[in-house]
Every structure is written in C-alpha cells, then in structure tokens.
Amino acid sequence: MRTETYWNRALEKSEKALKSGALVPLSTSLERLEESAESNFELRTLESRLPKHLKREGPKPNPFKPWDRDLEVARLDPGHAVILNKYPVQRGHMLLITADWAAQDGWLDLSDWTALVHVDQDTSGLWFFNSGPIAGASQPHRHLQLLPRSKDERSCPRDLWFQKRLESKEKSETASDPLWNGCSVVSRISQSNDISAQAQGLYASYLSLSEQLGLGHPSQDQRPRSFYNLLLTPQWMAMVRRRREGAAGFSVNALGFAGYLLATTGADLHWLRMQGPEALLREVVLEIRGNTVVGSPS
C-alpha cells in the first residue's frame, strides 16, 4: 500500500513556496475536447504572462544546478533529487532530477529508473519525459516529471487510447494512422516489490520501445537517434517518436499525447477546433511502419 509521503511533502512544500513566491502556478482557463470515446483532451488557455522557460529565444540558465531549496521535496541517494516544478500543471507537480549534470537528450540509465521506482512505490501517477527541444523539453538538464494520481483516478484523458493501442499490439493488428504508428506501448506488469527488479524491468521496457521506434540502443549509439516523448502509468509505458516540436502555434510535449494541451500567444484555436486535437498530434509525430520511417523529420 502506497503511503504517498512524497505527494504529501510536495503539497506541504507547495504551500510554503507559494507564500515565498518560489512557486508560480500558471493562470489558465479550461476547456474539454472529446475526440472519441477513448481519446479526450483538456485544453488550457494561458491567461497570464508566458514564463521564460516556455520562450524559445535566448540563452537559459540551468535552474537545477543548483536547484531552489525552497522547491526541494527530497534527496535520493546517490544522485537524484525530487523538487517541485516551479510552474506546476497541478498541485504537487514534481520533477525527478539528477543532482549532477546529465543531458536531457541522452539515454535514460538504470540509475534514473531506480530513482523513479523509489518514488513510484510511494507516490504513483503519470510520469512523463521530453527527450529534448523537439520533444518539448524546456531544460537540457535531465528531469522526469510526475503528476500524482490517487488510486482510483484515471492517469490521463487519453488513457483508454493507450490501453487500446496496447491491446491492438498484442493482437498483432495494424493501422494506417500516423499517430498509431508513431507510438509504441508495452504493458507494465511486475511481480516483484523489489526496487532493483522493477527498475531493471522498466529499463528493459524502455530499451525495447527505443528499438521498436528506431531510436537505437546505448550499446551502439551515444545518444538516441531521434527525439521522443515517454509516458508511464501503473498500467503501461508508451514512447512517441517526434518529427517536430509544434504545429498551428501550439508547442507539444509528452502531456499533449496524454491529452493535455496548452494554448499560448500565437496558438491557432480555430485550426484546433476545426481539425481536432489528434490532427495536431499527427503533425508532430514521426510515423514508423515496421522499421521504416515514413516521411522525414522537420
């Protein structure tokens, strides 16, 4: 049974960080969009000023070295820390960062998965990772993100889409949809409560997904061959290979594939409503059929 110690710490820390100004929640309005029975979206429109970390232009200082101690939730031995996201998507939005420099666009390694499992055994939910700028990463220092979820709460609006994708794979079905073919999903099933065993299993799944999408393998490639997004819930792990960072004025990261979209200045809301949110995702995904890349990255 999870005690959710990290989630409780994050909530307590959030209250203090809000009062000190260290935490800056984004002011947004919410609209729900239904694409299909299994693919729903939450569209948030930013009503406050765009934070510097979301702006593309200009050099950016590393906010994780050192990280703001007012945002620190916990330190994990030997080389990771859990901190609050300064611009949270929800209350308790956490980052799992490397204490020392590690590249966001490099391979996740076993130590990253071990730290993730350490947190996940206590506080689970929707984990996500943006491998670099084309995948929507705002910082080059390695960080995974966690949106905690209660036991009976759905992990994300498109959870059923990923469940369907997983079932289709198991039945060896094929599809012509670029969104379908640019994504690979594996079941997350562990018979062990041992942190090391779970971490090894997740690392193996991660490498398997990478090979399925043509990203290579750390034994042969210094870095993944392409940018990607990663999503992890208690039921499944999914990877999406990326073609470009955004479309129609929208920036899309892993949360977009989970069903969470953010409209900032320049976002074409008319296009989105006419074409639909899945059309937006198709614009940024790189389709893979078998071992063949369909189209070219842009």
Q: What's the rounded Cα separation, in Å, for the pair 243 and 219? A: 24
- Model pLDDT, residue 77: 86
pLDDT above 80 (res 152)? yes
Position 51 scores a pLDDT of 63
Q: Which amino acid is at 151?
A: K
Whether the pLDDT of residue 291 is over 80: the answer is no
Dist CA 279 CA 48 (whole Å): 27
Q: In the predicted model, what is the mean pLDDT of the chain?
A: 91
Please tell me the least confidently modeled range out of 147-151, 172-176, 291-295: 172-176
Query: Is a pLDDT exceeding 90 seen at residue 164?
Result: yes
The number of beta carbons lying within 10 Å of the beta carbon of residue 32 is 10
Residue 241 has pLDDT above 70, yes or no: yes
* Nearest one of 116, 156, 173, 133 to 257, comparing CA atoms: 156
Confidence of residue 37 (pLDDT cuts 50, 70, 90): confident
Closest CA to 87 of 133, 24, 39: 24
Instruction: Give the mean pLDDT of 40-47.
Output: 94
Strand partners, 117: none
pLDDT of residue 191: 72
Domains in the chain with CATH codes: 5-53+71-294 (3.30.428.70)
Q: What pLDDT digit, counting tens, does each position of 16-32 carry?
A: 999 999 999 988 999 99
Is pLDDT above 80 for 172? Answer: no
Checking if the pLDDT of 139 tops 90, the result is yes
Considering the entire predicted model, what is its pTM? 0.94
Higher pLDDT, 95 or 296: 95
With beta carbons less than 8 A apart as the criterion, state whether 118 and 3 touch. no
Q: What is the mean pLDDT of residues 225-239?
A: 97
Least reliable range by pLDDT among 254-258, 278-282, 291-295? 291-295
Query: Is the predicted pLDDT of residue 280 greater than 70, yes or no?
Result: yes
Whether residue 235 contacts residue 188, with contact meaning beta carbons closer than 8 Å, is answered with yes
